[in-house]
Amino acid sequence: MLEATPLTEGWILRHEGDALPASVPGCVHTDLLAAGVIPDPFLGCDERAVAWVGRREWTYECELAARDGHEQTDLVFDGLDTAAEILLDGRPLGRTRNMHRSYRFDVTGLAGRLSVRFVSAYAEAEAVRGQLGERPAAYAEPYQYIRKMACSFGWDWGPTLVTAGIWRPVRLEQWSTARIARVRPVVTVEDGVGLVELHLDVERTRVEAELAVEATVGGVRVRADLDGTRGSVRLEVPDARLWWPRGYGEQPLYGVELTLLHEERPLDSWRRRIGFRSVGLDRRPDAHGTGFTLVVNGERLFARGVNWIPDDVFPSRITRERYRERLRQAADAHVDLVRVWGGGIYESEDFYDACDELGLLVWQDFPFACAAYPEEQPLRGEVEAEARENVVRLMPHPSLVLWNGNNENLWGFRDWGWEERLAGDSWGEGYYLGVLPRVVAESDPARPYTAGSPWSGSWDRHPNDPAHGTHHSWEVWNRDDYADYRLHVPRFVAEFGWQAPPAHATLRRALPGEELAPDSPGVLHHQKADDGNGKLERGLARHFAVPEGDFDRWHYLTQVNQARAVAAGIEHWRSHWPVCAGTVVWQLNDCWPVTSWAAIDGDGREKPLYHELRRLYADRLLTLQARGPVRVVAAVNQAADVWSGILVLRRMSVEGGVIGSVRVEFAAEGRSVADVAVPRELEPVGPKEFLVADVDGLRALHFPMPDRDVPYPRPEFAVALVPGGIEVTAHTLVRDLLLQADRLDPAARADRGLLTLLPGERVTIGVAGWKTPDAEAARSALYCMEPSR
């Protein structure tokens, strides 16, 4: 039987003649941090102090002992970051230049000093650029010339920390006669029968040996002889239980096992978990343009999505538990789709396992983002090799429902001046419209592929045309007010978002000793977006009286504005289902402490946006929308059952009086939207009035004027301790009340975000991790809208 021995012990990192202890898997930065050679680049402005690390060459070494008892011994690297030469006692075994691939070297009968010498990723990228010529990109760093996680070169939310190292596991594999080289599982379901086709490649040391394979799944067992180095088996599972995305059903998973046999003796085995489900992408033209609707098990979905970036700029630090925690946070916010963005990586099995179990659909980008990528060698062969390996690696996961060719490169070619600058040079189109769809069609025919995001489906239309395919809405953040989200109904919004700083405790940890201000050195350093603070300020000024010299107030208002902006988009677009079939917020998570578009900051703390997503992505959403000259209450029902009840509408004054009210019956069928017209006499007039809609514990608000023009009363409320949290009782209108629990204790978390209370209303805010509850401390950590100063 094949024997695998992990190589995790005894590694050293060579640094200026010294031998430092090294962790494998790991990277140079984490090893230098552990040895005290460099400061933590996440703190203060120390990112700059470690920039030299990415410019150096580095060598990892360990002793490789001789192994007996098998015909062949292979040295297997699951991931090397990135350009490396592998030597054993000075004898070259091979070279690598792709972070996204695994590598295997024959070391049968060999022993000695194993060395993995990494050249600087900069040196490798710049050499390829010199060979193939300059290509345009959104950023100055040379990330498009090397098959490496692009965002390690920095992004508008990430630091520039160019890594090197053995970033995924390494092991010795010893085997005899034959081993399983690859299994490609095609899983489908037809008329309630689960179908599993296992396509097998083997490697042999003895070509004459008679081999057989045995496969099992769901109590079904199949056996077949294997001639040569390729074969397949087919299994049929009657009455297969369907795997559903969360909110639509359960997520049953079946264990599948394939065993390679010689004379009834097992030589090797392959084990995975699969789920039976069908998936499609409806891109048919209609009266509104060209759709983009995911269909799972015949059910058309409105995708409630988030964009995912690497959860740490040093991915080797992301544990199985951390993946599960972050994805559980997504699931708890009613997210049902996670887009793995193209400037990152193909994530580890731990990520996809968690998505399988949680019912989170995965949209997987191939790693191309915001740049023109050369299509010549040495990159072309690397791209096809990594695509073939990773498509097959990820095929077992039922959560994976879509392959996407790139992020924003088709758009960039058309709109960002690339076409003129390239003057006919290759830029990636051959990957997105040629190589990648061919690889998916040949290897994973049961899943849909789209050439890019955004992509209208044809060069006959603008790549980012909102009426066709996927759309990225960035003009609003960059130039406009978030009210402009309501001007269009895209078919599928794959990116949009609004910035806000991280939690207060996250800033305090990242910027020790700094007097916090929007323009203090550390705060500015942890803002990577072009004119990011300027856009925050202008976004605030459209709605609020911008506080001068009050960082705490600025911090609160920017977080409110982020939640309000995202809500404006999602409420509008969800209310237009089925024309709009999904929103994917930029972004769920951060890779370090930073002001960004994330809902969960770099320390894992939830911003107000996170709690707002829980409301916005719930099965049932109540929202007030304009339908031309008429205002309606849109009851968005993504549940399967009818949603019916009595809707209470109130026209109110900010002083708390009810000017008019009405009770209206409504019914929204399952997976549909019902509009209820607001009587004209209930429309608020002027800055002192607003509209409230309530049903089943859900509330929608409409203020006709920006907050800066609303004469809010001075908020009055009582705070009392209750078991597990605090109770707040409003004596006046209290708009956008927020408990910043991390100000009570860095470990504290609140169970809800922004709340608007009418006079006399009471709410309990649960607080976990608060060691010494105190009512006055709680009051000091509560923020809400105040009269304009």
Question: H/E/C letters for each residue in 186-236?
Answer: EEEEECCEEEEEEEEEEEECCCCCCEEEEEEECCEEEEEEECCCEEEEEEE
Torsion over CA: 460, 465, 471, 476 (sign): positive
Distances (CA, A) of 736 to 564, 679, 753: 10, 26, 8
Strands of the 293-296 sheet, one edge to the other? 279-282, 293-296, 299-300
177-274 shares the fold of 3-173: no
Q: Is 375 a catalytic residue?
A: no
Say what percent of the chain tops pLDDT 90.
Answer: 98
- H helical segments located in 275-362: 320-332, 349-358
The distance from CA 729 to its chain's CA centroid, rounded to whole angstroms, is 38
- The tens digit of pLDDT for each residue in 657-702 reads 999 999 999 999 999 999 999 999 999 999 999 999 999 999 999 9
- The tens digit of pLDDT for each residue in 410-447 reads 999 999 999 999 999 999 999 999 999 999 999 999 99
Torsion over CA: 519, 521, 526, 531 (sign): positive
How many other CB atoms sit within 10 Å of the CB of residue 442?
Answer: 11
Nearest to 636, CA basis, from 700, 695, 577: 577
Q: What is the DSSP letter of 165?
A: B
Q: Using the structure block, give the residue that is written with the tokens 């599960």.
A: 324
Q: What is the DSSP letter of 27?
A: -
Give me 96's structure tokens: 């690598």
Alpha-carbon span 45 to 522, nearest angstrom: 6
* 169-174-180-185 Cα dihedral, nearest 10 degrees: -20
Residue 297 has pLDDT above 70, yes or no: yes
Alpha-carbon span 340 to 787, nearest angstrom: 42
Residue 788 has pLDDT above 80, yes or no: no
Judge contact between 616 and 648, C-beta under 8 A: no
Q: What is the DSSP letter of 719?
A: E
How many other CB atoms sit within 10 Å of the CB of residue 549?
Answer: 8
Q: What is the pLDDT of residue 16?
A: 81
Pairing between β-strand 103-106 and β-strand 449-450 as defined by DSSP bridges: unpaired
Residues 6+ apart with CB under 8 A from 4: 171, 172, 173
CATH code reported for the domain at 712-789: 2.60.40
Nearest to 48, CA basis, from 146, 158, 160: 160
- The tens digit of pLDDT for each residue in 152-209 reads 999 999 999 999 999 999 999 999 999 999 999 999 999 999 999 999 999 999 999 9
Strands of the 254-262 sheet, one edge to the other? 220-226, 211-217, 254-262, 265-274
- Preceding amide of 454 cis, omega within 30: yes
- Torsions phi, psi of 13, nearest 5? -115, 125
Q: Of 375, 408, 429, 495, which is the active-site residue?
A: 408
Q: What is the pLDDT of residue 18?
A: 87
* 140-146-150-152 Cα dihedral, nearest 10 degrees: -90
- The tens digit of pLDDT for each residue in 733-772 reads 999 999 999 999 999 999 999 999 999 999 999 999 999 9
- For residue 257, give the 3-state DSSP assignment: strand
Exposed / middle / buried, residue 219 (Cβ in 10 Å: 0-12, 13-18, 19+):
exposed
Query: In the predicted model, what is the mean pLDDT of residues 545-556?
Result: 94
The secondary structure of 119-146 as a DSSP string is PPHHHHHHHHHHHH----BSSSS-GGGS
Nearest to 600, CA basis, from 498, 743, 503, 525: 503
Residues 6+ apart with CB under 8 A from 235: 195, 196, 198, 215, 216, 217, 218, 220, 222, 256
CA geometry: angle 459, 463, 465, nearest 5 deg: 115
Distances (CA, A) of 228 to 203, 211, 232: 9, 9, 12
Alpha-carbon span 779 to 777, nearest angstrom: 5
Q: What is the pLDDT of residue 323?
A: 98
Alpha-carbon span 281 to 758, nearest angstrom: 44
| 3-173 is classed CATH 3.30.70.270 | no
Query: In the predicted model, what is the mean pLDDT of residues 223-240?
Result: 96
Alpha-carbon span 732 to 753, nearest angstrom: 19
Q: What is the pLDDT of residue 532?
A: 97
| 177-274 is classed CATH 2.60.40.10 | yes
Q: What is the pLDDT of residue 512?
A: 96
Judge contact between 121 and 96, C-beta under 8 A: no
- For residue 503, give the 3-state DSSP assignment: coil
Query: One-letter amino acid identity for 180?
Result: I
Query: In the predicted model, what is the mean pLDDT of residues 208-218?
Result: 96
Q: What is the pLDDT of residue 789?
A: 59
Q: Using the structure block, give the residue that is written with the tokens 């050293």.
A: 12
Give the start-end residues of each E strand in 264-309.
265-274, 279-282, 285-286, 289-290, 293-296, 299-300, 303-308
Residue 256 has pLDDT above 70, yes or no: yes
Nearest to 492, CA basis, from 385, 595, 582: 582
- The tens digit of pLDDT for each residue in 454-495 reads 999 999 999 999 999 999 999 999 999 999 999 999 999 999
* 120-125-127-133 Cα dihedral, nearest 10 degrees: -170
Q: Using the structure block, give the residue that is written with the tokens 């999602």.
A: 570
| Predicted model pTM | 0.97
How many other CB atoms sit within 10 Å of the CB of residue 251?
Answer: 21
Average pLDDT, the chain: 97
- Torsions phi, psi of 452, nearest 5? 180, 175
Helices H, strands E: what count in the chain? 16, 44
Half-sphere exposure of 258 (CA within 13 A, CB side): 29
Give the start-end residues of each E strand in 723-786.
725-730, 734-739, 749-750, 755-757, 762-768, 782-783
Q: What is the pLDDT of residue 24?
A: 98
For the chain, the structural domain boundaries read 3-173, 177-274, 712-789
